[in-house]
Chains A and B, each alone.
Chain A
Amino acid sequence: MTVCRIAPTRPKESTPYPCVRPESLRIASGLPRPRLFSLSAKGQRIITQSVPIALALTCMLQLSGCSLIQTRSTGAPIQERGIPENVQAAPPKQSESENPDVVIKPYSSGGGGNANRVPDETQAQSEAVPAQQEQPAASNNAVLALLDNAGQQSRSGKLDSAAAALERALRIEPRNPEVWHRLAAIRLQQGQFDQAASLAAKSINLAGNNTDLITRNKNIIAQARRKQTKP
């Protein structure tokens, strides 16, 4: 069994991380699994193996005056030394100051406006702020920050990370049609056409009378259909 095996309920394209077979972890450890030590109930090891290799080694020992042994066995890769890196990289979190000061309106208040405008874009062009006030992409700063983060990730090609940020945003605002739309756009980029179309349909379902958003979603659905038929 491998990690990339698809569970019956998950669609085929849903493994964004490179397929890693769990078994390969073990192989990477460089250790043959039936070890030289067998583990007793208390976890203590008893030396179990017999000696033939050792005899050969002895000769080498005698010849070299033990100097050979100092070279560490090369088979064991460093990364499997067993200690997890519980370290934290420098906080990549968005800094507070980066978020545009937007007038918060509930996204469901609907009605026209330019929903195309997203916070991460307005950031670059601060003169566009008034327009943005008409249709913020989300009703709270947490979601805006995550959308912003997803935008940055996707621009730098990290589509998995972008999707993760959007999923996180959906946990906060599960009925925000803009977030569903952006997730659809990411899935389209990733070539997950079924998901792209479904997510866009979901966004339409929640979009109320936001015709602009509906149009953008229909656009995604059309593209997904087209690309699906011509792989």
Chain B
Amino acid sequence: MPRKSRSAVRFSPSRKALIVFLSALIIAGMAYVAYLDHTVRVQFDGKRWAIPARVYARPLELFQGMRLNPEHLAAELTDLGYVRTGNPDSHGTYLRTKGEFRFVTRAFRFWDTAEPSLPVKAIFEGSDLVTLQNSKTGKPIDLVRLDPLLIGSIYPAHNEDRVLVQLAEVPPLLTKTLIAVEDHRFYDHHGIDPISIVRALWSNVRAGATVQGGSTLTQQLAKNFYLTSERTLWRKFNEAIIALLLEFHYSKDEILEAYLNEIFLGQEGQRAVHGFGMASYFYFGRPLTELKLPQFALLVSLVRGASYYDPRRHPERALAQRNRVLDVALANNQITAQQAAAAKQATLGVTAKAPNGTSPYPAFMDLLRRQLQRDYKEQDLTSEGLQIFSTLDPRIQANAERALVTRISQLEKQFRIPPRRLEGAALITSSENGEVLGVVGGRDARFSGFNRALDAQRPIGSLIKPVVYLTALAMPQKYTLATLLQDEPVTFSNPGSKPWAPQNYDHQYHGAVPLHTALAHSYNVPTARLGLEVGVANVLNTLLSLGVERKLAPYPSVLLGAIDLTPMEITQLYQTLASGGFRVPLRAIREVLTAKGEPLQHYPLSIKQVFDAAPIYLLNTALQEVITGGTARSVTQQLPPALTVAGKTGTTDDMRDSWFAGFSGQHVAVVWLGRDDNKSTGLSGATGALKVWGDIMQGITTQALHTTPPGNIEYASVDEQMQRRVARNCSGAVELPFINGSAPLETASCGEGNALTQPVEKTLDWLKEIFR
């Protein structure tokens, strides 16, 4: 614009022309100011920042009578940044003396209700939370919900990270210190402060260092919020104009609040930390409201140069600058001499590592984002400051990671697998409501690479067998758990394809075996026969209703698991079995709230009955036998005796894949082990994945599998070889559940069959299993 005016001068040397020129200059100047004014206000009044969506773990809920490992509570409090003190009296502090915890929870606004801050006393006996009360009043507390752990954010491309704070919630001591140091005449000037500029110059010369700046807070805000960092006079001029305009339109409080949220206070990799709200978490792992004077002074000192005074990289420099800040605050009468002296004694107190900008749970976040992307645009996720409440249980996740990583290294040594070749994945869900509690996508759980839990499609081997048997058991007039299946050499010929001769894992044949035994011992030949009897297409239909929504061709080899599925799909499949025939879509999200805490979307529990309860009950009885006397027997050594579980091993050709899928009364867990290059691992389902699975189940608090039979189930003792009912105390008698009317009708007396041979055969079976 000034150029335009100059051109006017060239052609008008006369006085009249001068007036025209001056008028033009004024108009242009005014126009420019008006333009600045417009932009200043549009930007300031609009949505000022793109705020990444925040993802929270499930909140830990405590109630009396709950089973909870006290170490897990301690770990949760530590993760949440609760500070251990002798006398926990402010929110975010705790004290633990053995089995007794005292802590003050943080207030937190959840989707359903706002949880107030509460002083809590929790007493454990072993893993039982026996007492839960208000530590001030001594009144019992029914239920208390801790604030949820932030497990990740969804960043926009430019990676500015901030947690917005309102002036009202910022501790006054911080703003006082800030104003004392950066602009002590903040409340007296109108945007620019000539006195300060002179004084700052003077005190900097005297101190021999930059301890005071000449720019007002308003100017700093103008610079950071509106302008580039280049140091030119033109920019300085703009900065001054914008500062004046800001002061003209907005109150001091509004300007201060914007400043507190805008200012750059740290950097980690791609992520820029802006504002005191985020900086508090970044350096101290706690909300701003829980900090004290020494921490405020440290944060204020970072305004001068967040990387130069980085307390993690240059602790001495940071300490010196913090103390200088305290001196200035004292000199300005914002703090007392005692306060300053005490604060100077304090250590920097920053956490050793900055909280990871990228989530420590990349595999879970991956699942969460896929589920979010069905409903939200990427841009909204990275800019609207949405609060996403996920289902992740950090304790279960940590336990699963540890189990997988430790076992994998151990198995590599034991089975002479080249180091770092064995990979794995694990998923843990809550069996009745389908919430995904933990996802491990590989042995390097922090690395967000190939997510095997979601994307590794591998042959599932014997994991398919429950589907085959369920198809049969749904026809009680034809099949029961006692039905004898023939395990002898057989070849199936199908016109147009090669004849198929399935083999058992142990290359033995076992004669006539009861259906439940064939499943518990994972015999291939009787399974293939059974599957062809009920029809491959029917087996695939069962698979579909159980939740595997994938188009599959009805080849007979499907019956022995020659289909590729992901651990996630297997989890959905076994989830339906675990919840008694009710399909529950696996969910990683509970709730999405706007930045202001308004409910935006609820992901409700939704269930669908896809199978009658009775055949599922029969199947699950047989799947328990897999553990008590079948291919997964070895896991009983890992688990507490009272923990009843059910599950199925899976091993594929040449031992390329080692699977175990199973459930307790509360949790479903699926583990896969194998190599990315698809080479043999030498691991069966039982020697590999089952070990990890056992560690996972053993390390979490879970309930035994419940076995309340549905109304149309009756128990009967039968002699399976005779297919007759016998007295319960006969030597060959087995007590089995039957769907009403499907148990054998004829009875026999003890010893009518060849009960003699059975114990021998059982021993042999048992021996064979050792090598499985």
Contacts and interface: CB of A to CB of B under 8 A. Distances in A.
Given A86-B166, A205-B580, A22 B377 contact: yes
B64 A140 contact: yes
B164 A44 contact: no
A128 B165 CA distance: 50
Contact of B229 (A42, A88, A171): A42
A141 B142 contact: yes
A80 B46 contact: yes
Contact count band on B: 35 or more
Interface string B164-207: 11100100000000000000000000000000000000000000
A96 B609 contact: no
B43 A206 contact: no
Contacts of B420: none
A5 B375 CA distance: 6
A172 B46 CA distance: 43
Nearest to B64: A141
B31 A51 contact: yes
Interface in B86-118: 107-109, 111-117
Contacts of A20: 600-601
A16 B601 CA distance: 8
Contact count band on A: 35 or more
Nearest to B108: A88
A83 interface: yes
B48 interface: yes
Interface string A160-171: 110111011011
Contacts of B551: none
Given A26-B384, A164-B111, A202 B375 contact: no
Nearest to B106: A88
B374 A86 contact: no
B608 A198 contact: yes
B377 A47 contact: no
A107 B391 CA distance: 27
B601 A93 contact: no
B433 A170 contact: yes
Interface in A9-55: 9-11, 14-17, 20, 22-23, 25-26, 29-31, 35-37, 39-47, 49, 51, 53-55
Given A10-B585, A58-B34, A202-B607, A36 B113 contact: no
B143 interface: yes
Nearest to A194: B608
A124 interface: no
Interface in A154-197: 160-161, 163-165, 167-168, 170-172, 174-175, 183, 194-195
B602 A198 contact: no
B158 interface: yes
B142 A96 contact: yes
B41 to A, nearest CB: 5
Nearest to A75: B45
B415 interface: no
Q: Which of B384, B581, B665 counts the most chain A CB atoms within 10 A?
A: B384
Contact of A57 (B38, B47, B65, B580): B38
Interface stretch (B350-358, B589-597, B670-678): B589-597
B91 to A, nearest CB: 11
Given A61-B30, A76-B46, A199-B607, A45 B225 contact: yes
A195 B257 CA distance: 47
Given A15-B601, A84-B597, A44 B46 contact: no
Contact of A88 (B46, B116, B380, B596): B116
A46 to B, nearest CB: 5
Given A23-B377, A72-B41, A164-B111, A171 B433 contact: yes
A180 B402 CA distance: 35
B359 interface: no
Nearest to A92: B113
A229 interface: no
Q: Which of B30, B582, B666 counts the most chain A CB atoms within 10 A?
A: B30
A27 to B, nearest CB: 11
Given A49-B39, A84-B596, A142-B142, A167 B166 contact: no
B47 A7 contact: no
A208 B708 CA distance: 7
A147 to B, nearest CB: 11
A30 B224 contact: no
Contacts of B602: 15-17, 160, 164
Interface string A104-138: 00001000000000000000000000000000000
Given A72-B249, A84-B385, A91 B708 contact: no
A200 B308 CA distance: 64
Contacts of B521: none
Interface string B239-256: 000000000110000000
A86 B109 contact: yes
Given A37-B43, A84-B596, A142 B143 contact: yes
A145 B601 contact: no
A16 B30 CA distance: 53
B227 A83 contact: no
Nearest to B435: A171
Nearest to B113: A92
Contacts of B665: 175
A31 B42 contact: yes
B450 interface: no
B605 A1 contact: no
A183 B143 CA distance: 20
A8 B371 CA distance: 11
Contact of B45 (A44, A81, A91, A142): A81
A35 B46 CA distance: 10
A182 to B, nearest CB: 13
Contacts of B582: 198, 201-202, 205
Given A23-B380, A96-B139, A53 B38 contact: yes
Contacts of B30: 58, 61-62
Nearest to B547: A9
B61 interface: yes
Contacts of A108: 708
A55 B708 contact: no
Contacts of B451: none
A49 B31 CA distance: 13
A139 B63 CA distance: 12
Given A16-B602, A17-B599, A83 B257 contact: yes
Contacts of B735: none
A103 interface: no
Nearest to A28: B47
A26 B224 CA distance: 23
B384 A22 contact: yes
B769 interface: no
Given A22-B376, A141-B63, A91 B116 contact: yes
Contacts of A170: 432-433, 605
When A and B form their complex, which 7 residue pairs have the shortest distance between CB atoms, in order from nearest?
Answer: A54-B35, A142-B63, A174-B432, A9-B585, A91-B116, A58-B31, A57-B34
Given A7-B375, A30-B46, A69-B34, 8 more contacts: A16-B604, A42-B272, A47-B36, A62-B27, A82-B595, A84-B164, A160-B599, A194-B608
29 contacts: A5-B375, A8-B549, A10-B603, A16-B604, A17-B602, A23-B377, A36-B43, A45-B226, A45-B227, A49-B39, A51-B35, A53-B38, A61-B34, A69-B249, A72-B45, A73-B41, A81-B45, A83-B164, A83-B165, A84-B597, A88-B116, A89-B109, A89-B114, A99-B142, A163-B604, A170-B433, A174-B432, A195-B607, A205-B581
Interface of B: 1, 27, 30-39, 41-43, 45-49, 51, 61, 63-66, 107-109, 111-117, 139-143, 158, 160, 164-166, 169, 224-229, 238, 248-249, 257, 261, 264, 272, 274, 371, 374-377, 380, 384-385, 430-433, 435, 549, 580-582, 585, 592, 594-597, 599-609, 613, 665-666, 706, 708, 710-711
